[in-house]
C-alpha cells in the first residue's frame, strides 16, 4: 500500500514513511491510494477479539510484518483496563461506545498507545531520533505524552491553549515530568496552536534538520487505529439486536474521529448515518447543513476538546468530495487560507452518510442530568453533545451508537453544574492533585516555538 497527498504534489510514500513524516511536504494530508473492501468478510470479522480484529483491518494498510504488527497491537491495548478494550453498553434506547478505558481515560488512547509503539519500533529498526511536535485542545496532549514518555530517541513538545482546557486535562500533561516531555502553554486558542503547528511542519528545512514528527490526527496512523472500534462496536450491536446496519453519533471538533467512521464505511462496514455533533463552535455542522465552511470566533464551552474552528482532518473528506482531484483541493484550501471560507461547487451527493447538528451548554447540561437520573449513567460533556444531536436523527429500525469520548471525571466541574453533586471521580485523576508540575509559557508565535524546540534539541535546554 502506498500513500498519496491530498494536494497531489508529493511522491507516493510507504506507511512507515507516512507515520514518521506526518504532514505531507506539499502541505496536504496523506491518504491510501485505495481503500480495501472488507464487506464480504464482516461475518468472519465479527467473531474476532479486539486485538485480532485490529491486526486484520490494519494489515493491508501497513508495511510491517504481520507478526510484528500483532505484537505492537497486543502491547498497545494491554494498557487498557477492560479486556474488551472498547465495550459498547446499552443506555436507554441508545448504545454508548466507551472509548475511555485507556491510560488517560480518553478516546485518543486508542490511537496514541499504538502510534507510540510504532514510533519506537521504526526508530529501533531504522535508527535515528524523532522530535514530536503537537497541539491539543484537551485530550490529545496527555494521550500522546503517555504514549511516548521516557522512550529513548523521542522528545515530545505539546502545545495547549493556556486556561482553555479543563484543569484535569492540564494536570494529565503537566504532571508528567519525564525529561523527554515538554509542555508548552500557549497564550491563545487551540486554533492558534494548530496554525503554529502547520507552519512549523511547512518549513521543510527546519522539519528535516530537527527530525520533526506529528502525533496530531494529521498523522494517518491516528485515523487508521480509530477505524477499528467502529467495526468492533457495530458487530457487537448488530449481534445483540439483529440489525443489518447501525448509525453512529460522534462529538467532533477536528473531524478525525468521525473521518475514521467514514473510512470504516468505505471499507464495507454497514453504517447508515454518521451523525456529526458539535457544540457552539459549529463550523462543521454548518457546512453539512449549507455547504459553506467559514471560520468564526472560538467560544469556550463545557466541552473544550471541541472548541475548534478549523478542523485539520476536514481536508481529507474534501479530497473525496472533489473526486480525488488534488489540484482542485489545493486551490480550495488556498482560498480558505486567504479568506477564511470555502463552499463546495456541488450539493451533497446521494448516499452521503453525514447529518449534523449542535448542542449548546444548556442542552449539554440537560442531557447529562436526564441520562443520569433516568438511566444512572454518567456522560461527559462531549458525549452529552453527541447524545443530544443523536436524538434528532434516531431511527426506529436502526440502532444508534453514541461515541463516549472521555471519562466524565475529566470534566468534574461540568458534572457539578449538571447535577449539583461532585459525582465524577476516577482514582487515576484524583491522584494528580498536588503532584509536581512542569510547563513553559509560550506566546502564540511560530518564532517562540522554533526557539524552544531548537534549544531543547541542540543544547538540552529547558525553560520550565
pLDDT in tens, 379-416: 999 999 999 999 999 999 999 999 999 999 999 999 99
Dihedral in degrees, nearest 10, Cα atoms 231, 61, 193, 141: 60
Q: Which residues contact 171 (CB under 8 A, 6 or more apart)?
A: 429, 432, 433, 435, 437
Q: What is the rounded (10 degree) CA torsion for 136, 137, 138, 141?
A: 0
Tell me the percentage of the chain whose pLDDT exceeds 70: 98
Please give the backbone phi and psi of residue 90, each rounded to the nearest 5 degrees, phi first: -85, 135
pLDDT band at 305 (very low <50, low <70, confident <90, very high): confident
Counting beta carbons within 10 angstroms of the beta carbon of residue 461, is it exposed (0 to 12), middle (13 to 18) or buried (19 or more)?
exposed
Is the torsion defined by CA of 26, 186, 120, 124 positive or negative? positive
β partners of residue 32: 3
pLDDT at 347: 56
Chain centre distance of CA 393? 23
Whether the Cβ atoms of residue 214 and residue 23 lie closer than 8 Å to each other: yes
Question: 251: which DSSP letter?
Answer: E
Whether 352 has a pLDDT exceeding 70, the answer reads yes
What does the alpha-carbon distance between residue 362 and residue 377 come to, in Å, rounded to a whole number? Answer: 19
What is the structure's pLDDT at 218?
87
User: For cell 458534572, what's the residue?
Assistant: 415
C-alpha distances in Å from residue 431, one per residue of 426, 428, 435: 9, 6, 8
391 given a catalytic annotation: no
Residue 12 corresponds to which cell in the numbers above? Answer: 507516493
Contacts of 285 (CB under 8 A, 6+ apart): 276, 277, 278, 356, 357, 358
- pLDDT bin (cut points 50, 70, 90) of residue 166 is confident
Share of the chain above pLDDT 90, in %: 87
57-113 pLDDT tens trace: 999 999 999 999 999 999 999 999 999 999 999 999 999 999 999 999 999 999 999
Which pLDDT value is given to residue 349? Answer: 67
Domains in the chain: ranges and CATH: 88-103+221-425 (3.40.50.1100)
Residue closest to 273 by CA, chosen among 287, 258, 286:
258
Q: Where does the pLDDT of residue 348 fall: very low under 50, low under 70, confident under 90, or very high at 90 and above?
A: low
- C-alpha cell of 223? 485515523
Cα–Cα distance between 293 and 317 in angstroms, integer?
13
Contact 144, 160 (CB under 8 A): no
pLDDT at 139: 82
Distance CA 275, CA 249 (A): 4
**Among residues 2, 75, 108, 331, which one is catalytic?**
108
Residue 460 pLDDT grade (very low, low, confident, very high; cuts 50, 70, 90): confident
pLDDT of residue 345: 64
Q: What is the pLDDT of residue 310?
A: 87
The average confidence (pLDDT) of the chain is 94
Residue 237 has pLDDT above 90, yes or no: yes
Beta bridge partners of 161: 186
pLDDT value of position 420: 97
Q: What is the pLDDT of residue 350?
A: 65
Please report, for residues 273, 283, 297, 375, 431, the alpha-carbon distance to residue 394 in angstroms, rounded to integers and kept in the order given: 10, 22, 31, 18, 39
Amino acid at each position: 500500500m502506498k500513500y498519496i497527498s491530498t494536494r497531489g504534489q508529493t511522491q507516493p510514500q510507504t506507511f512507515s514513511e507516512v507515520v514518521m513524516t506526518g504532514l505531507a511536504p506539499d502541505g496536504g494530508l496523506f491518504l491510501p491510494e485505495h481503500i480495501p473492501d472488507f464487506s464480504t468478510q464482516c461475518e468472519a470479522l465479527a467473531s474476532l477479539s479486539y486485538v485480532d480484529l485490529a491486526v486484520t483491518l490494519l494489515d493491508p494498510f501497513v508495511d510491517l510484518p504481520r507478526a510484528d504488527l500483532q505484537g505492537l497491537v497486543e502491547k498497545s491495548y494491554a494498557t487498557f483496563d477492560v479486556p474488551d478494550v472498547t465495550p459498547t453498553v446499552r443506555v436507554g434506547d441508545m448504545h454508548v461506545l466507551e472509548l475511555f478505558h485507556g491510560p488517560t481515560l480518553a478516546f485518543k488512547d486508542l490511537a496514541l498507545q499504538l502510534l507510540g509503539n510504532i514510533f519506537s519500533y521504526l526508530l529501533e529498526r531504522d535508527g535515528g531520533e524523532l522530535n514530536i511536535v503537537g497541539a491539543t485542545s484537551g485530550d490529545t496532549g496527555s494521550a500522546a505524552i503517555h504514549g511516548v514518555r521516557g522512550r529513548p530517541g523521542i522528545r515530545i513538545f505539546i502545545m495547549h491553549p493556556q486556561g482553555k482546557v479543563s484543569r484535569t486535562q492540564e494536570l494529565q500533561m503537566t504532571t508528567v515530568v519525564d525529561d523527554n516531555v515538554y509542555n508548552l502553554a500557549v497564550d491563545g486558542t487551540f486554533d492558534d496552536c494548530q496554525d503554529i503547528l502547520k507552519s512549523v511542519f511547512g518549513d521543510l528545512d527546519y522539519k528535516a534538520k530537527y527530525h520533526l514528527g506529528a502525533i496530531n490526527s494529521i498523522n494517518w496512523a491516528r485515523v487508521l487505529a480509530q477505524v477499528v472500534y467502529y467495526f468492533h462496536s457495530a458487530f457487537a450491536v448488530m449481534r445483540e439486536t439483529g440489525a443489518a446496519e447501525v448509525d453512529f453519533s460522534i462529538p467532533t471538533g477536528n473531524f478525525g474521529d468521525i473521518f475514521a467512521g467514514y473510512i470504516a464505511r468505505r471499507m464495507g462496514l454497514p453504517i447508515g448515518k454518521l451523525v456529526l455533533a458539535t457544540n457552539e463552535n459549529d463550523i462543521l455542522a454548518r457546512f453539512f447543513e449549507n455547504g459553506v465552511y467559514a471560520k468564526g470566533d472560538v467560544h469556550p464551552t463545557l466541552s473544550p476538546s471541541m472548541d475548534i474552528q478549523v478542523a485539520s482532518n476536514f481536508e481529507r473528506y474534501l479530497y473525496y468530495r472533489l473526486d480525488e482531484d488534488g489540484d482542485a483541493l489545493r486551490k480550495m484550501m488556498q482560498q480558505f487560507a486567504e479568506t477564511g471560507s470555502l463552499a463546495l461547487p456541488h450539493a451533497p451527493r446521494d448516499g452521503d452518510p453525514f447529518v449534523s447538528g449542535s448542542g449548546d451548554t444548556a442542552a449539554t447540561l440537560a442531557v447529562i442530568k436526564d441520562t443520569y437520573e433516568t438511566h444512572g449513567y454518567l456522560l461527559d460533556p462531549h458525549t452529552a453533545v453527541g447524545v443530544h444531536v443523536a436524538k434528532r436523527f434516531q431511527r426506529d429500525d436502526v440502532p444508534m451508537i453514541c461515541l463516549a469520548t472521555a471519562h466524565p471525571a475529566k470534566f468534574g466541574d461540568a458534572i457539578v453544574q449538571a447535577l449539583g453533586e461532585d459525582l465524577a471521580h476516577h482514582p487515576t485523576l484524583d491522584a494528580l492533585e498536588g503532584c509536581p508540575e512542569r510547563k513553559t509559557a509560550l506566546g502564540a508565535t511560530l518564532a517562540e516555538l522554533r526557539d524552544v524546540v531548537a534549544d531543547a534539541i541542540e543544547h538540552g535546554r529547558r525553560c520550565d
